Every structure is written in structure tokens, then in C-alpha cells.
Amino acid sequence: MEFKLSNHKRDSRGFTLVEMMVGVSIGCLLLAALATLYMFSMRSFASLANYSDLNEKTRYASDIISRDIRSCLGVSNATPNVLVLAEPSGGVTVQTTYTYDPNVGTLTKSILNGPTTVLLTGIDSLNFTLYPKPNLGDPYEKFVGGASPSTAKLIGFQWSCSRRLLGSLNNSQSLEAAIVEMRNL
């Protein structure tokens, strides 16, 4: 006895070429969408980590400079790119110099006859400004720079930093600005 399969049973055994092509196309589109989402997420995570690191380093440099300005005995010399402070150290006055090198974009701290430390890299611009003692009640908007090292009571600094993310056009930027009072004058 011989059994023949009907056309209906033969058609239900597998996929036709058209069904297979449609299924593979939809699968490829879903995989492409998932890959794009994954790449976007990884780039966003890297950007956030880059920005967080840059923010931490600029805050650290700002804290070090602010601490040294507050505790200094006076300003020995100042230009827009160099600030030299006279600081107490174990009963002796030492010279602490902050130098911005625009060619390599670094801010260094050096102590006379002591170590030199790179505080910050990736600096696009930096500026130190000396301010005289303000009149009582003057708002910050009225502060006008131009004080000499001997008449300065406040020191302002401002810098802008940036970093590229993996060679792309995306970058992280940080702007830091402060006016700090010398407390030992």
C-alpha cells in the first residue's frame, strides 16, 4: 500500500524562499538596530567617563591653587601665564610658581628648590589676574584687575580645558574660574 502526501502536507514542511528572505531581512534589521544602540551607549559612556575625569582634575587643580593663594604671604610676581606666591613653609618663606605653558597646554606647580608637579593638562587657555582690595559692599561685577603684586588682595584665575574622545569630533570641555582672597595680608 502506497501513501501519497497531499500538496497541503508538502507545503507545511518548511519555509519558502520568499519567507526565508523576509525573515533574514527582518533579523538583519533587528541586529543592526541593536548594534547601533550598543555603539551609541558605549560612546555615551566613554564621553561621560571622559567628562567626569576632566572635571575631577580641574577641580583638584583649582583646589590646590585656591588653598595656596589663601595661605600665601603675598604675590612676588604675576603675568597672565605665571603666578609666583610667597608662602610660609616651616617658618621660612618659599616661592611657589604656577606656570601655564600654552605650547603644550599644561599648568605646573613648582616650589623653589623643591618638586615640580603637573597639575593639569589639555588646557586651551589660562589667565591669572590680580585685583586690589575691594571697597566694602562692592559686588564682584565691579572688580577691575590691574593691581600690582604689592597692592593685590585678590587673585583671579580662569582656564578652559578640553579633550577629544577617541579621535572623534566629540569632546569634553571644562571651564574653571575663581577669585580668591589672600588671607594673610
Tens-digit pLDDT profile for residues 169-179: 556 677 888 88
132 within some domain: yes
25 within some domain: no
Whether the pLDDT of residue 11 is over 60: the answer is no
Alpha-carbon distance of 129 to 108, in angstroms, equals: 17
40 within some domain: no
125 within some domain: yes
Of residues 144 and 68, the one with the higher pLDDT is 68
Phi-psi region of 83 (alpha: psi -120 to 50; beta: other; left: phi over 0): beta
Quote the mean pLDDT of the chain. Answer: 86
**How many domains would you assign to the chain?**
1
Residues spanned by the domain of 141: 50-181
- Percent of residues in the chain assigned helix, strand, coil, to nearest 5: 35, 35, 30
Whether the pLDDT of residue 82 is over 90: the answer is yes
- Close Cβ partners of 152 (under 8 Å, ≥ 6 residues apart): 74, 75, 78, 130, 131, 132, 182
φ, ψ (nearest 5 deg) of residue 90 = 65, 40
Predicted TM-score (pTM) of the model is 0.75
Whether the pLDDT of residue 52 is over 90: the answer is no
C-alpha cell at 68: 595656596
Residues counted in the chain: 185
Dump pLDDT digits (tens) for 94-120.
999 999 999 999 999 999 888 899 999
Whether the pLDDT of residue 9 is over 90: the answer is no
Beta-ladder partners of 127 = 158
37 within some domain: no
**Residue 62 parent element (H or E):** helix 17-71
Place of cell 559692599: 137
- Report the sign of the C-alpha dihedral through residues 110, 149, 104, 162, in that order: positive
152 within some domain: yes
The closest alpha carbon to 86, from 70, 99, 75, belongs to: 75
70 within some domain: yes
Task: Please report, in angstroms and rounded to a whole number, the separation of the first and last CA atoms in the chain.
Answer: 116
173 within some domain: yes
